[in-house]
Structure 1
Amino acid sequence: MPKAKEKKKEETKTKSEKKNSEMKTFKIYGTFKYSDGYQDFIKETKAAKEIRAIDKVYKLIGSQHRIKRKYIEIKKIEVS
C-alpha cells in the first residue's frame, strides 16, 4: 500500500469523554446584594475554564434571585 493511503489507527475518544476530561470543578465564594443587606453564597460548578465558571455563577444567581451582575461580588475561586 502506498504511504498516502495508510491510516494510523489512533485511540479516539468520544465527544463526551473529551468534554469530561477537560472539565474542572470550581468552587466559587461570593456575596450579592439582597433586600437591605448582603447574602453570602458558595456555588460549585463544572466548566472548562475559570471565566466560564464565573459567568455561569452570575447567570445562576441572577436568575434565581432576580439580581443584576453588578450586585454580585465574587470573593474567591477554588479549583477541585
Structure 2
Amino acid sequence: MKYEKQEVELSEVAKNGKNIALSKSSFINHVENNLFKEVDITSFSSAFALIEYILQDYTNNKANEIEISSGAYLRNYSQ
C-alpha cells in the first residue's frame, strides 16, 4: 500500500491504528475539489463510457429488445 509516495506496511497500520482509508463521500469530495492532484483518474473514463453506452442502448431501445452482440437482439416477451 502506498500513501504520500511512501511504502506503508499493513502490519504497521494495524499496530499504530493509522487509518488512511476514505469513506465513499469523502473520496467523492476529494475528487470534486481536486485534492488528488497527483493521482491520475483518467483510466476511469473508459469504464464510465461503457456504462453510458449501455444505459443509452437500454433507454433508446423502444422495441423492448436488448443488443446481446453487435447487430444481434434479444426480444423480451411477456409471459
Q: Which structure carries more strand by proportion?
A: 1
Please identify the structure whose Cα radius of gyration is greater. 2
* Shorter-chain TM-score above 0.5: no
- Return the structure number with greater relative CO, CA threshold 8 A, min gap 6: 1
Q: State the TM-score bracket (shorter-chain normalisation).
A: 0.3 to 0.5
TM-score (norm. length: structure 2): 0.32
